[in-house]
Structure 1
Amino acid sequence: MARTALVVGGNRGIGLAVARRLADEGHHVAVTYRQEPPPAGLLGVPCDVTDLDSVRDAFDRAEELLGSVDVLVHSAGITRDRLLYAMSEEDFALPLLTNLTGAYRVTRRAVRGMLRRRWGRIVLLSSQVALSGEAGQANYSASKAALVGFARSLARELGGRGITVNVVAPGLTDTDMAAALPEERREAIVAGVPVGRLVRPEEVAAAVAFLASADAGAVTGAVLPVDGGAGMGH
């Protein structure tokens, strides 16, 4: 059955792979973007999750064109990597505003329609470092780890209404963010990954697509690692 899906931050990287996978499966898909619109073939709606009015406008636009959102994927995220001694208040706050508060804002808006229809799928993109930690990423790791508690609390609130809430935690994925790392650092990370390579965005998208499907109705409050085994034991 075709559903309406909104992928927040779906114009590039993992979010774009998710949007394409959901579209390939027959869903009506809209993606949000801040500056760079998505490639042709995907409906793009501008949205800045740090601005509540922008979130409201994005949902209104997506629902006007495609109908009420059945599947919400929050893939928007930023980093402000600094060692703690050099991390300013702004450096710490910005990732939390985008990665965590942004997830709260879009989820709260999406749930309204899901509750009326008694069906919904919410998937939040976290990260392996939420569980394992990473030097220089205390802010990013905190924002991504908080998504787990957020999702599991909502899973308890909403499960009886046919709405599932899950988290996917990718490892280092072959995106522009990984490409921007120094080669030496990237190789060191890959050396600690049991499968011996970066994760492909399409592999993350496949996990999200399952959690967004009707077949995943009994899966909620889960944290699904797609990290090549890097986070085992965390």
Structure 2
Amino acid sequence: MAKLDGKVAVITGATSGLALATAKLFVAEGAHVVVTGRRQDRLDAAVAAIGHDVTGVAGDVGEFADLARLADVVAAGPGRVDVLVASAAAWTWGERFTDVTEESFDAVFGVNVRGTFFTVQKLLPLLSDGASVVLIGSGAAEKGDAGTTVYAASKAALRSFARTWTTELKDRGIRVNVLSPAAIETPAFADLPPGFKERIAARVPVGRLGHEHEIATAALFLASADSSFVTGIDLPVDGGIGQV
């Protein structure tokens, strides 16, 4: 039987990259997915790419009204959430500490921290007992790379959320885990300086960059009964770059 047969999954920020790959895999494993994205055109393209058993809801996780609409759509449709993957994120890569502005700080923390917090809070009444919550972190949270000061701190906050929510939601059997990718080849590499991808790949112990489907399969593990005795962890999927 498929690992998510009959389950309802909500995946935020799922219009491209790792989250879109995760949505496709979840559907292949039997789930109905509700995906979100800020831009309607990209959301429509993602829904078309997933193909079936998918509902698209346009919105920004940093906006209360959009989160309320997401909850309303889920309540009126499937009526519950068995898996919640909070993956919507913002970043200002390469912005050093001395260059951070109020605007750039708020843009990142508003989505990554505030947005994640209230995504889970707004959908909590719809979470099934025994549901799985997966927060998409980052290997950057464990490092001290220059130019990541705000982004890394925002992802470190998710590690704290997973610990406290694991304790607060244990009576309902809701598991909360962080999945932290690093050194994954995504379309974002196209916007980075020439040679950056090659330099990162050279540092990865397994000798290559990771693939989007490798994050999706890790998310599937945390979402499914395969991880029924796993909660409160931060699972690095990074080819070893953050471990040695």
**What TM-score do you get using the length of structure 2 for normalisation?**
0.91
Query: Aligned residue pairs: how many?
Result: 231
SS at match of 1:167: strand
1:32 aligns with 2:43: no
User: Residue 61 of structure 1 aligns to which amino acid in structure 2?
Assistant: V
**Could you tell me which amino acid in structure 2 is paired with residue 124 of structure 1?**
L
Alignment of 1:59 with 2:71, yes or no, is yes
1:122 aligns with 2:133: yes
- Contact kept, 8 Å, 1:162 with 1:217, in 2: the verdict is no
Residue 89 of structure 2: which of 51, 57, 77 is its match?
Answer: 77
CA RMSD of aligned residues (A): 1.3
State how far apart, in whole Å, the 2-side matches of 1:31 and 1:39 are. Answer: 8
- Residue of structure 2 in register with 1:4 after alignment: 8
Equivalent position to 2:202, from 158, 181, 191: 191
Q: Does 1:133 align with 2:147?
A: no
| Cα distance per residue 1:13-53 (max 9 Å; x no partner) | 11101101111100111100110212412321111111101
Q: CA 1:39–1:28 in structure 2 vs 1: closer, same or farther (change >3 Å)?
A: closer
Indicate conservation of the 8 Å contact 2:183/2:241, yes or no: no
Matches within 5 A, 1:79-94: 79-81=91-93, 82-94=95-107
> What is the percent sequence identity of the aligned residues?
39
Check conservation: 1:195, 1:229, Cα contact below 8 A. yes
Give the SS at the match of 1:230: coil
CA contact 1:127–1:171 (8 Å) conserved in 2: yes
Question: Helix, strand or coil: the match of 2:30?
Answer: coil
User: Cα distance, 1:94 vs. partner?
Assistant: 1.2
Corresponding residue for 1:49? 61
Give ranges in structure 1 of 5+ residues lacking alignment.
none
Q: How does 1:206-225 map to 2 (within 5 A)?
A: 206-225=217-236
**Shift of residue 183, structure 1, vs aligned partner:** 2.8
Aligned pairs for 1:126-205 (under 5 A) are: 126-205=137-216
1:83 CA displacement = 1.0
Displacement, 1:133? 2.7
Deviation at 1:54, TM superposition (A): 0.6
Q: Deviations over 1:163-199 (max 9, x none)?
A: 0000000012211112221232221111111112111
Instruction: Please give the alpha-carbon distance, in whole angstroms, between the structure 1 residues aligned to 2:183 and 2:155.
Output: 14
User: TM-score, normalising length from structure 1?
Assistant: 0.94
Contact 1:159–1:220 (8 Å) recurs in 2: no
1:109 partner amino acid? K
Instruction: Tell me the alpha carbon deviations over residues 90-130 of structure 1, each in whole angstroms, 9 at most, x when there is no partner.
Output: 1122111101111101111222122xx42211000001101
Give the match for residue 110 of structure 1. Answer: 123
Shift of 1:66: 2.4
Unaligned runs of 5+ residues in structure 2 are: none
Residues 45, 62 of structure 1: 8 Å contact kept: no
